[in-house]
Amino acid sequence: MIKKITLSTLLLCGSALVMAEDVTPSQADAVDSAATKMESMQIRAVAADKPAVPDNVPNTVESVTAKQISESINAVTTPQVLQYLPSVHVRERYIGDVNGVLVMRVNSSTSSAQTTVYADDLLLSNFLNNSFSTAPRWLMVSPEEIERVDVMYGPFSALYPGNSAGGVVTMKTRMPEKFEAHAKFDYFGENFKLYGTDKYYDGVHGAASIGSKYNDLSFIVSADHLDNHGHPMTFTSTSLGTYKSGLITLPCDLAHCGAKSAAVSGAYKDIDTSGNPRITAGSASIDHTVQDNLKIKLAYDITPTIRAAYTLGYWQNDSEKRGESYIQNATGKTIYGTGGTSGIYQYLNIDGKYYTVTASASSNTESEHIMHGLSLKSDTGGTFDWDVAASYFNQNKDLTRSSSGNFGLTASDGVAVVGGTIADASGTGWKTFDLRGDWRPDGNLKSKHQVSFGYHYDNYETKTDTNNVTTNTDWRTGTVGTLSTNSRGQTETQALYLQDAWQLHTDWKLVLGGRWEKWDASNGSNYAANTNVQYADRTIYAFSPKASLTFQATDDWSLRGSYGRGVRFPTVGELFTNIGIKTSSGGTPTAGQITALPAPYNVAKTNDPNLRPESVNSFELTAERMFGRGLWRTSWFFENKEDALISQTDYTTLPGYQISSIQNVDKVRTNGVETSLQITDLLINRFDLTASVTYVDSTITKDSKNLGLEGTDQPRIPAWRATLMGVYHANDKLTFTLAGRYSGHQHNALYNTTTKSYTDVNPDVYGAVSHYFVMDAKAMYKIADKWSASLGVNNLNNFKYYVNPNPYPQRTWFASMKFDY
């Protein structure tokens, strides 16, 4: 935090100077009155700007406030408010993306369980899996609710679980002190052009809230609505057709495949991320999402220092994903792909060669998620404070209907019957309970000791079934048929923690702590390929010590060294998600083949119920330089991770039966340097600048299951990241912002030990995790006392960039109108 010299302090100093010059008593009284008034104003401002994190947290903290969001960031969804903080990125591929994984210093864009997100002390992190598909439930919070966001780096506080190894995000939302009402409307649109898609995709967003405080009861009710047409997420691929001549497989030719093919046009040729020619036949996963979020927050001041609070959150999503084929036959009719065992659509003739084409599937998703939060908290600032909090998050309804494919002239969403599957995750969710106390022996917030202690409980439960749609019925309306796969399981964590922030001396502060945890996995089972597997219950104990020492070297320089161990337990998804069964040739075996395979390879599982938790030992050295108009921070960070949970191939198994799955990798080392600058009135009055640069090196140093990976890069962690934001307050009404975001090269997959190379030799095309540099801009104008409007653009330079395999947004325009009473 930047040290503040309040206006009241300046006025009080001015009062002393004026008195020294023998002014009249009435003049001095006027100055003192102004000073008293300004002091009161400053106290209220500081209270409103108070971080949502506890006072004794030893982590590096970066923040963004509601004022900064409103003035400078084009934010329609909550993940967008984080995009200019150092080393922070959210994998939001389009506005309304439910798979927005939080990425920080040391975790990748597919590692959702290595960072932790809270809103008003309610856990939003989805630790059901460590995957791109289990992102935090950001959409339970609207950007318009946010009062401030604080980001903590590393597992240095005993108050947070081992999932905080990457970092912790805490959001504080607004609670009214008097009557207030707010409304906002956003329109946004994107010109997207890639392959055969050249379209304008747009959407609208509206948010409204009303709240007040009557005596000891305060409340706020808010609603948020989003309706967006996203751009394509994937594109359909082609592969050369083959036929068999005896035991030899050969490329298709006219004699063998000509009668089984149709000549088509409209496909697009380019080079893929591995450097090979490819042909793209269409787009897929174009999502039309309609989302609603309703939030009710109640608070009652039982006494002046004890408050009870309740939060009810409801979120629903209707999503329709569709594709578009680029290819046509000679008469101009759309061809969707290849398939069948007879007829002319077994192959497609593209420029004289014969290809198989996977048509883009379609899906409809209906979701209803409900969140409850209840807390009782004291805030005396005296000898002892405490709080009790409980939360419950339930995927009350989570149904996805998917087509099983289509080919020839048949579209998956056309009039013809196309079969499919129904995936049901209803009832999946989590619950938490926390007891916490703060003891200050000196009886105030400046106590030499601030001791925090507490108990934590969480339970995550997965219930997922995938059924085939009843035979000869359509995927959109058909009834539930035979079971294809399912997964069941629970994980439970109980923790006790103790932490003491000890002011050793005026210039020295020591924070010591520890977190003891007991983890249980139970009721695990899954079903696939007519095989049901149940798993034994497990229990693991872990202890994580923490230590941090801060030295205030001078009035301007502060130095801090921190150490923390964090233990990240496996998720229910990593432990129990559906099994896969394979033969030595890689296919799905019949029941007879399964019996014939030698144990234990007769059931080759892609999940592992015996995964060990990954543990990290993290260090950070930080230097902060405070000066008249800003703050400059530089941090060196280091993480040594053991038993890292990474998807790889195990080459220690029987030849021909290698298993690719989530496995424990012995050791991964990550270290880096991050520097951050915040400065006001730079060069000219009213111009503020924030900037950051981060360098990271992450290497697999030991891998007993795949020795060829030792010394290679951990995927999806860029070497360089940077942000830059300049904000110019032209006057009290008009603000201009120009900002930039940069991310350097990163590999999209593990090193290929067969070819002795990385797979992304062509890293900046569709299918890769590319580098990017995008510029954003915003102009905000206060039309009247309660009205403001803004115009903005993200990706002003229209940079095309990707996160395997999905494209990020191209140039996107924003127009907003806001009312605040």
- C-alpha span between 677 and 731 (Å, rounded): 24
The pTM of this model reads: 0.89
As a whole number of angstroms, the distance between CA 536 and CA 30 comes to 77
Of residues 405, 285, 284, 280, the one with CA closest to residue 339: 405
Query: Residue 457's pLDDT is what?
Result: 97
Q: Specify the pLDDT at position 585.
A: 42
Residue 406 confidence (pLDDT): 86
**Residue 357 · residue 323 · CB < 8 Å:** no
Token pair, residue 158, equals 């005993």
Per-residue tokens: 411: 């579209």
What pLDDT is stored for residue 92 in this prediction?
95
CA distance 140 to 161: 22
Count Cβ neighbours within 10 Å for each residue of 598-619 and write b for 16 or more, e otherwise. Answer: eeebbbbbbbbbebebbbbbbb
Beta bridge partners of 687: 728
Structure tokens at 42: 């400053």
Distances (CA, A) of 515 to 442, 460, 549, 640: 25, 20, 18, 19
Closest of 494, 489, 579 to residue 128, by C-alpha: 489
Calculate Rg over the CA atoms of the chain: 29
Which H or E element spans position 33? helix 25-48
Q: What angle do CA 150, 616, 606 make, to 5 degrees?
A: 105
Distance separating alpha carbons of residues 788 and 734, to the nearest angstrom:
10
- What six digits make up the tokens of 794? 């993200």
Contacts 24+ apart (CB under 8 A), 745-748: 745/718, 745/719, 745/771, 746/715, 746/716, 746/717, 746/718, 746/719, 746/771, 747/713, 747/715, 747/716, 748/273, 748/715, 748/716, 748/804
Alpha-carbon dihedral 423, 424, 425, 427, rounded to 10 degrees: 180
* Cβ pair 813, 795 in contact under 8 A: no
Q: Are strands 277-303 and 306-325 parallel, antiparallel or unpaired?
A: antiparallel
Return d(Cα 393, Cα 138) in angstroms, integer: 13
Burial call 196-213: b when 16+ CB within 10 Å, e when fewer = bbeeebbbebbbbbbbeb
Residue 587 confidence (pLDDT): 45
Residue pointed to by tokens 């000891």: 216
Position 3 scores a pLDDT of 35
639 exposure class (CB count in 10 Å sphere: 0-12, 13-18, 19+): buried
Nearest residue to 613 via CA among 553, 567, 564: 567
Quote the distance between the C-alpha of residue 327 and its chain's center.
36
Mean pLDDT per block of 10 residues along the chain (821 residues) reads 33 32 41 39 37 78 94 95 95 95 93 94 93 92 93 96 94 93 97 96 96 96 97 94 89 92 94 94 96 96 96 97 94 92 92 91 95 95 95 96 90 88 95 96 92 97 94 91 92 97 94 97 88 91 97 95 97 80 43 42 64 96 93 97 92 70 94 96 92 97 95 95 97 96 94 91 94 97 94 97 95 97 93
- CA atoms lying within 13 Å on the CB side of residue 579: 23
User: The tokens of 631 are what?
Assistant: 């703050």
As beta bridge partners, residue 26 has none
Residues 564, 154 contacting (CB under 8 angstroms): yes
Helix 25-48 vs helix 7-20: crossing angle, to nearest 10: 170
Cα distances from 809 to residues 86, 110, 190, 793, in angstroms, run 21, 19, 7, 11
Q: Which residues pair with 314 in a beta bridge?
A: 294, 370
Q: Which amino acid is at 507?
A: D
- Measured from the Cβ of residue 525, the count of other Cβ atoms closer than 10 Å reads 15
